[in-house]
A and B are shown apart, each in its own frame.
Chain A
Amino acid sequence: MAKNLISIKNLDVKYITNKKPIHAVKNVSFDIKKGEIFGLVGESGCGKSTVVQSIIRTLNPPAIITNGYIKYDNKDILSLSVSEVRKLRWSQISIVMQSALNALNPVLTIKEQIIDVFITHKGMSKFEAVEKSKVLLELVDINNDRLESYAHELSGGMRQRVVLAIALALTPPLIIMDEPTTALDVIIEREILLKILELRKSLNFTILFITHDLNLLLEFADKIGVMKEGELIEVGITEKIKLGGQKEYTKKLISSIPSASGKRGVEFFPEPNLSIKTGAPMLEMKNINKEYLIGGFFNKKTLHAVKDFSLRIFKGEIIGLVGESGSGKSTIAQLITRLETQTSGSILLNGTDLKRNRSKNVSLGYRKKVQMIFQDPFGSLNNIHNVYHHLSRPIIRHNIVPKRKLEKYIYKLLESVELSPGKLFAKKFPHEMSGGERQRVAIARALSVKPDLVIADEPTSMLDVSIRMDILRILAKLRNEHNVAILFITHDLASARYLADRIIVLQNGKKIEQGISEDLIQSPKELYTKQLIAAASPGWLKNAILEQ
C-alpha cells in the first residue's frame, strides 16, 4: 500500500478553564495512508472532533495543543507559522462539518461562500471563480442556478451537498468529514454516502471520517480508530474491529449494536409480553390530526404534523413508535401528555374522553396517570435543584405517600432504578451526575407517582452507546414490576425491536405499518419499513452500491 499521507504522534490538547485544564486529547497517535478511508469513532465529548480540528488548527480558545507532532508532506503542521497554516488549509486539507445549516453563513449566498476559496487560493478573477463554482455544484448534482440561493432556501440534503462541494473546491488530498450525515434521515444519508464514495473514486482523495456511529463505519471504512475520554483505545482494520477488536471497550461497543435483522438476541431482555389484550384500552387515540400554523403574521402556512392517527395502549404493554425526525412522533408524545392540543380527533383515558382543553389546565388526575421521560437527561432536570427536589415535588403534589414516609420512599425509588445508595444520590445536583445517572433520575421521577402510562421519548439517544442497553433493560424490568404501560418513541427500529411488544412505524405524520415486533421485523409489508430495516442491518451500504 501507499505511504502515509498524514501521521499524528503523541498529540495532547488541553482546554484552559478557570480551574484545572481539561485534558481533552491524551497522547493520540495514528497514521492515515494515501487513498484510505480512516474512521474515528467515539461518544460525544470523547475528543474526536478536537483531534481533527487540531490537524487544521481551527480549535477556538481556550484550546492549546500541548504536545505531539502532526506530520503532513514531511512538515510538522504544529510548527508552521500562521500564514503557512492558512496556505495549507483547504488546498491540502478540507473539512465537511456536521450540521450544514450551521456551517453555511446565513446572510451570504452559496456563490459568495464558494468563490472566496478560489480567489484566495488561486488568485482567480471573480468571473473565473463563478464559472468554477458552477462546475463544482454540478459535481454534487445541484443545478448551478442555486448559486444565488441562501442556506435557508435549500433542503437539508442539498445543504450537505453544498458543504461537500465547498470541501472539494481545490480537490485537496485529504478531506475530513465530521459527522457529515448525522443530521440527515436514513434515505438521504444513504444518498450522500454513495455520492461521497463515487466522488472518491473519480477524484482520488483520502477521507478521515468521524462519527459516533460505529455501525456506519463498519460499512465502508478501511481502518477504524476507537476513542474514549480523550484516548485512542485501539486502531485496527475494519474486519478485525467487526469481530470485536482487542479491547474490552470495543467489544462492548460492538455487542451493544442491536440489529434490526436476523435472530433476536435474548441475552439482555425479557421476552415480550404478547398475551392477548381484551377489554377496554387504557389509552386510546382516535383519528388524531394535528396542524400547526407556521410562518409570520402574513404568510401563514399549515404544517400537518400528525395525520389521522389512531392508537390503543393496554395496561402493562410496551409499544414502540418508530419514525425519523419530522415523522410526528414527538408531536404524538406532546398530544398524549397534553402539552399540545389536537386539531381534531379524540383521546380517551380509561374510556373517558378528554376535552380539548389547554395544556395549562389539565386535571391533576390525568397528570398522575400519564408521565414522561425526555430525550435529554440534562435538560429535563433543573440544574438549580437537587435530586430530592425533583422526586419529592410530584410525590407531594399527588399525595402518593404521607410526609413522614417521603424520604424512605424516595431512597427506595432511586434504588429501584439502580442508583444506590439512594440517600447519597438524593443530595446530588444534576451536574454532579453522569448522563446515564441523570436519565435514571428522570425515570424514577416518572415512576414516583405510580402512573399507568409512561411516555419515553428517545430516552437513550443522548446517552453513550455503551449504557443505552442498561437504560432499556431498566425500563423492561420496571414494566414487569409495576405493570406500567410504556410508549417507547425512537428513531431506531433495532432498539424498539428489543424493548417493545408491538411496533408502529410512522412517516410524515402517518402510520405506515404496525404489528407484533418480531413479525414486523421479519416480514415487513411496506417499502418504507423495509428501507428502515435495511438501513439498520449490516452490509446495507454495499447492497446499496450493488443496487446502483
Chain B
Amino acid sequence: MNKNSILKRWGRGIIKNKKASFGIYFVSSLIGLSIFGPLFTLDPTAFLGTPLSPPSLEHFFGTNGQGQDVLSQTIAGARQTLLVAFTTGFFVVLVGAFIGGAAGYYGGKIDDFLSLIINVFLVMPGLPLMVILASWLPPGPLTLAGVLILTGWAWNARVIRSQMMSLKGRDFVLAAIISGESNTRIIFVEIMPRMLSLLASSFIGASIYAIGAQVGLEFLGLGDVSTVSWGTNLYWASNDLALLTGSWWTFVPTGLSIALISFSLTLINFGIDEVTNPRLISERNWKKQLPDNTLNNGVTPVVRKNG
C-alpha cells in the first residue's frame, strides 16, 4: 500500500482533525488511568474515614457512605466499566456486521428472515428486557456484557445491512463476482474495508451505549454490588441517600467521568464524520472566505476584488 490509499489518507486526516485528536487524547488517558491509576491510589474498598465527609486535603473527593475514598473509587471504577463497555462495543459490531452483513449481502429470503429478527429486537424496549435477563442471571461483568450485547446489536445490524445493500449492488462487487472471487473474499476484502469508517463509528457508538446502559443497570442494583465500578458507585450513592444528606461529592465525580469519556468518544465520531465527508470541512472553509455574517441564504455569494 502506498501513501495514496484512501485508508491511509483517512488515518492522516483523523490525526490532524482537532475534534478527533482531542477525543483520542482523552479516551486514551482515561484508559491509561484506569489501568495504572489503581496502583497509586488508596484501596477503594477499605473503610478509611468518617462516612460522607466532604472533600478535604486528606480525601480530595471526600468519602462515601461506607467511609471509602471517592477518588480511589472513581479511578478504580473506570476499569470494569470501560472493559465491559469496549467488549460490548466490539461484540455488538461483530454481531451486527455478521447478521446485518449477511442480510444485506445475500438478500431475498435470508434478508426477509434476518430483517424481521433485527426489527423485532429494535422495537423491543431495551431496559425492561435487560432487567429481566440480568435478574435471572448471576450478577457480574459477564452478565452485564452479555445482556448489553443481546439488547444492543440490532441497531448496528440495521445500519450495516443498509450500507451492505447499497455496496453489494455496486459495479466493483459485480466485477469481483464475475472475476470468480469467493463470497467470503468479496465480503471481507472488497466490501468490509469500504465500510471501515462505518464500523469504527459503530464501535464507538456502541461503546457509548454500553457505558450508559451498563451504569443504568448497575444503578438499579443488577450488577455485582460488591465490586467497584461507576455504576455501583452511583448505586451506593443513591442507597446511602446522597441526595437527602446533600453529599453531592459521592455522585458528581463518577457522573462527570462518565460524561467526559462519552463526550470524548462522541468527538472522535464527529471527527471521523468530518474526515470521511470532506464537504463538511469545505463548507467551513467556504464560510471563512466570506465577509462577516454571510450565511447560506440560497444566493451564491460574490467576492470580487473590485467589489
Contacts and interface: CB of A to CB of B under 8 A. Distances in A.
A386 B179 contact: no
B286 A57 contact: no
A216 to B, nearest CB: 28
A394 B172 contact: no
A353 B278 CA distance: 50
A473 B280 CA distance: 42
Nearest to A59: B300
Contacts of A228: none
B171 A379 contact: yes
A242 B152 CA distance: 65
A264 to B, nearest CB: 32
B289 A16 contact: yes
A109 to B, nearest CB: 23
B300 A57 contact: yes
A16 B282 contact: yes
Contact of A360 (B170, B183, B193, B279): B183
Contacts of B194: 382-384
A58 interface: yes
A397 B190 contact: no
Interface in A75-106: 78-79, 82, 85-86
Contact of B179 (A58, A86, A379, A393): A393
A380 B297 CA distance: 38
A364 B185 CA distance: 14
A339 interface: yes
Nearest to B173: A382
A374 B175 contact: yes
Given A53-B300, A359-B177, A379 B170 contact: yes
Interface residues of B, number: 42
Contact of A382 (B172, B297, B298, B300): B172
B178 A371 contact: yes
Interface in B270-307: 278-279, 281-283, 285-287, 289-290, 296-305
A381 interface: yes
B179 A367 contact: yes
B285 A386 contact: no
A505 interface: no
B7 interface: yes
Contacts of B170: 379
Given A17-B278, A18-B278, A53-B300, A449 B179 contact: yes
B3 to A, nearest CB: 10
B285 A62 contact: yes
B245 interface: no
A161 to B, nearest CB: 27
Nearest to A380: B171
Contacts of A15: 282
B181 A18 contact: no
B226 interface: no
B31 to A, nearest CB: 29
Contacts of B283: 16, 61-62
A33 B236 CA distance: 83
Given A58-B300, A382-B194, A398-B180, A339 B305 contact: no
Contacts of B7: 384
Interface string A53-65: 1100111111111
A64 B4 CA distance: 29
A540 interface: no
Interface string B175-205: 1111111010000001001100000000000
B281 A18 contact: yes
A171 interface: no
Contacts of A502: none
Contacts of B299: 57-58, 82, 85-86
A376 B171 contact: yes
Nearest to A448: B179
Given A78-B304, A339-B174, A374-B174, A393 B181 contact: yes
Contact of B172 (A380, A397, A431): A380
Nearest to B295: A61
Nearest to A297: B112
B180 A394 contact: yes
B296 A61 contact: yes
Given A16-B286, A386-B5, A65 B180 contact: no
B6 A64 contact: no
A306 B42 CA distance: 78
B6 A383 contact: yes
Contacts of B297: 82
A393 B1 CA distance: 15
Contacts of B181: 393, 397
B2 interface: yes
Nearest to A54: B300
A17 B5 contact: no
Interface string B1-43: 1101111000000000000000000000000000000000000
A67 interface: yes
Contacts of B4: 428-429, 432
A508 B4 CA distance: 45
Interface string A437-468: 00000100100010000000000000000000
Contact of A65 (B5, B174, B301): B301
A66 interface: yes
A368 interface: yes
A289 interface: no
A101 B47 CA distance: 72
Nearest to B170: A379
A442 B175 CA distance: 9
Contact of A18 (B193, B282, B289, B290): B282
Given A370-B178, A374-B174, A427-B2, 14 more contacts: A17-B285, A18-B282, A57-B300, A61-B287, A61-B296, A78-B304, A82-B299, A339-B178, A374-B171, A379-B171, A394-B180, A397-B181, A429-B4, A432-B4
13 contacts: A18-B282, A57-B299, A64-B286, A66-B304, A78-B304, A86-B299, A376-B171, A379-B171, A384-B6, A393-B179, A393-B181, A398-B180, A429-B5
Interface of B: 1-2, 4-7, 106, 170-172, 174-181, 183, 190, 193-194, 278-279, 281-283, 285-287, 289-290, 296-305
List 10 tightest A-B contacts by C-beta distance, closest first: A62-B286, A367-B180, A380-B171, A394-B179, A379-B171, A16-B286, A59-B300, A57-B300, A18-B281, A382-B172
